[in-house]
């Protein structure tokens, strides 16, 4: 601990040295290999928005691996909202929202809002740091990877000024970086055609290239490339875990690790069929047909030659995760065994002995009610048989009997369903709370536990459950509630506790160190390391912080874990 404390003092000293110099004249400016980046400063935080980290993936580079920048860009004004990568159009079922109180329906309706500025030329990063930072401060770097089910998401949704200011107040200043990466068909289209070219899992490759950019350039912003932590939510959390598996667990670049820790919010293993499986091939063929490219000798060349609008129109014939088919997700990282980048489904890797996983520390958790948002779209599936029909249709390689047995562990009685702990309340249609419990478990909650049980004896791991906001009608502690907590800072006691734990992890690879240090640290409960025997986890609740057990619905989990190799889509 002493060495860690010295590191903190040194970082704070460098930061204060920068403050001592006072504000520099004009806006913040940083010179990197490709040019000069001019940002803006507000409320003690410098923001540099829309810094390109790759060549634009347009024209003939559409549906190909992103290429590093080769040319200098001179001086750029990094002060405008950057372009978002094109998402899959969200066509929410209006009947889904009509089940809800009007105020809640309006809030959830924001999920269907498209980014304000969209286009294919979108591979950029945002950097936010404490203002007037010393050049040699070498602050730890937290890299945020947004969620959206690999169908949506962009940096437009996130501003980390609040968190950066909290890091300053807690005497553990950090730099936050986030990147735009390709989602939907442009980022995760599968099929044998793309496999043959080696252009699979493009969104993950975008993220990896951005991490390499950070390794090369973040020191110029006052960051330490040797102290990088990845942090993601939902699909972003799955992405963080995937970076631990990529290249057989080799997370180095130019001989040095790209990151040393991972924070997983609501997402982990994400088992998937191979990139040329009929499930993935059907998506490719559907888009080719919608684009009018079926008769082309080279269907990929045809897709690349399409005008942008025509390509997106063809992509948007694919159902999204909020449509009446429920949790079908067409675009997701899929293993490509012909390429070492991502050759195996994550469930295969973590079951290996030993698993080929980057040896980085983990802090991982879920929301208590991960499935409520998705169960809203399942209102037609009011019996277990109907739910089996839907889930089996998107995972046809798995025997129907597996889903029948798995779902049998979930009672129809609403008091056992999600939102959990709300008794008979919130059953907006027959079977809603059961459907919410099942979808939340199989898609997110159990995937989280699988990873911790497989890896916690090999790498330092901490687990948590967020169970605040049970008073929120119908959706409880919903998928994404943690994003709302960090964005709003409310409820404040839970935000401050979470922020301190996260900063301690980023600085010390242990969420407990700051609480033990002298000074202004908040005295927080000791967060026990996860152990497969004790299953201890931190629970963030409306009543405060509680040490609980990650053993709820254990019989269902045991069966799920035994069939994980079949539960892929």
Q: Grade residue 399 by pLDDT with cuts at 50, 70 and 90.
A: very high
Query: 465: which 2 tokens?
Result: 């459950």
Tell me the pLDDT tens digit for each residue of 116-130. Answer: 899 999 999 999 999
Any idea which residues carry the catalytic annotation? Answer: 234
Q: Which residue has the tokens 């605040």?
A: 468
In which element (H, E) is residue 554 found?
helix 554-562
- Model confidence over 243-279: pLDDT tens digits? 999 999 999 999 999 999 999 999 998 899 999 999 9
What's the pLDDT score for residue 522?
80
CA distances from 185 to 179, 189, 203, 320 (A): 18, 5, 10, 12
Q: What is the mean pLDDT of the chain?
A: 92
Burial class of 72 by CB neighbour count within 10 A (0 to 12, 13 to 18, 19+): exposed
Residue-level pLDDT at 9: 32
Share of residues in the chain with pLDDT > 70 (%): 93
d(CA 38, CA 49): 9
pLDDT at 100: 84
> Is 2's pLDDT higher than 60?
no
- Rounded distance between C-alpha atoms, residue 111 and residue 148, angstroms: 9
Q: In the 8-state DSSP scheme, what is residue 118?
A: B
CA–CA distance, 298 with 536 (Å, rounded to integer): 54
**If you average pLDDT over residues 90-104, what whole number do you get?**
78
Region 330-338: mean pLDDT is 95
Domain ranges of the chain: 2-366+444-465+474-544
pLDDT digit string, tens, across residues 225-242:
999 999 999 999 999 999
| Each residue's pLDDT tens digit, 405-446 | 999 999 999 999 999 999 999 999 999 999 999 999 999 999
pTM of the model: 0.93
Radius of gyration from C-alpha coordinates of the chain: 23
**Pairing mode, strands 124-130 and 175-179:** antiparallel
Residue pointed to by tokens 């997700």? 329
- Please tell me the distance from the alpha carbon of residue 58 to that of residue 305, in angstroms, as a whole number: 10
Query: Residue 407: which of 431, 380, 388 has the closest Cα?
Result: 388
pLDDT (0 to 100) of residue 130: 98
pLDDT at 92: 64
Per-residue pLDDT of 502-536, as tens digits, reads: 999 999 999 999 998 866 578 899 999 999 999 99
Asked if CATH classification 3.40.50.1820 holds for the domain at 2-366+444-465+474-544, the reply, yes or no, is yes
pLDDT of residue 16: 35
pLDDT in tens, 169-228: 999 999 999 999 999 999 999 999 999 999 999 999 999 999 999 999 999 999 999 999
Average pLDDT over residues 363-375: 96
- Among 267, 386, 383, smallest CA distance to 329 is for 267
| pLDDT of 4 | 34
């Amino acid at each position: 601990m002493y060495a860690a404390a010295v590191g903190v003092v040194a970082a704070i000293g460098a930061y204060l040295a920068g403050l001592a110099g006072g504000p520099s004249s004009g806006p913040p400016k940083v010179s990197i290999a490709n040019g000069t980046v001019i940002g803006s400063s507000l409320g003690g935080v410098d923001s540099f928005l829309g810094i390109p980290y790759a060549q634009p993936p347009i024209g003939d580079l559409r549906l190909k691996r992103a290429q590093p920048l080769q040319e200098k860009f001179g001086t750029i004004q990094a002060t405008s909202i950057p372009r978002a990568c094109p998402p899959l159009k969200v066509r929410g079922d209006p009947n889904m929202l009509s089940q809800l109180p009007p105020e809640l329906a309006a809030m959830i309706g924001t999920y269907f809002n498209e980014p304000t500025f969209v286009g294919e030329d979108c591979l950029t990063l945002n950097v936010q740091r404490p203002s007037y930072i010393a050049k040699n401060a070498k602050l730890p770097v937290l890299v945020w990877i947004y969620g959206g089910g690999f169908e949506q998401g962009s940096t437009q949704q996130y501003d980390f000024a609040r968190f950066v200011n909290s890091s300053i107040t807690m005497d553990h200043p950090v730099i936050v970086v986030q990147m735009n990466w390709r989602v939907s068909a442009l980022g995760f289209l599968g099929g044998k055609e793309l496999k043959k070219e080696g252009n699979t899992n493009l969104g993950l490759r975008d993220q990896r290239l951005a991490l390499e950019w950070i390794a090369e350039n973040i020191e110029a912003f006052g960051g330490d490339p040797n102290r990088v932590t990845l942090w993601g939510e939902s699909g972003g959390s799955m992405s963080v875990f995937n970076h631990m598996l990529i290249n057989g667990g080799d997370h180095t670049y130019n001989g040095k690790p790209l990151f040393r820790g991972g924070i997983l919010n609501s997402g982990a293993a994400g088992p998937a069929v191979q990139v040329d499986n009929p499930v993935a091939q059907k998506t490719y063929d559907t888009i080719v047909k919608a684009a009018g490219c079926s008769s082309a000798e080279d269907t990929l060349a045809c897709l690349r030659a399409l005008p942008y609008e025509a390509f997106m129109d063809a992509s948007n014939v694919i159902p999204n995760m909020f449509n009446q088919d429920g949790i079908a997700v067409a675009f997701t990282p899929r293993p490509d065994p012909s390429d070492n980048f991502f050759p195996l489904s994550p469930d295969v890797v973590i079951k290996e002995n030993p698993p080929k996983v980057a040896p980085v520390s983990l802090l991982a958790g879920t929301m208590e009610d991960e499935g409520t948002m998705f169960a809203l779209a399942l209102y037609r599936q009011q019996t277990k048989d109907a739910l089996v029909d839907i889930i089996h249709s998107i995972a046809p390689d798995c025997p129907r009997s597996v889903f029948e047995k798995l779902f049998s562990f979930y009672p129809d009685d609403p008091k056992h369903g999600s939102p959990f702990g709300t008794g008979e309340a919130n059953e907006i249609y027959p079977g809603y709370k059961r459907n919410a419990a099942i979808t939340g478990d199989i898609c997110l909650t159990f995937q989280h536990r699988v990873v911790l049980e497989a890896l916690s004896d090999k790498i330092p791991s901490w687990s948590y459950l967020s169970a605040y906001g049970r008073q929120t009608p119908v959706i409880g502690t919903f998928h994404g509630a943690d994003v709302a907590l960090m964005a709003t800072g409310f409820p404040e006691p839970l935000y401050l506790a979470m922020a301190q734990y996260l900063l301690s992890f980023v600085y010390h690879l242990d969420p407990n160190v700051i609480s033990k240090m002298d000074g202004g640290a908040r005295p927080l409960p000791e967060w026990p390391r996860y152990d497969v025997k004790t299953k201890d986890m931190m629970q963030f609740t409306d009543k405060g912080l509680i040490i609980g057990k990650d053993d709820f619905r254990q019989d269902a989990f045991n069966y799920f874990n035994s069939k994980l190799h079949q539960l892929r889509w």
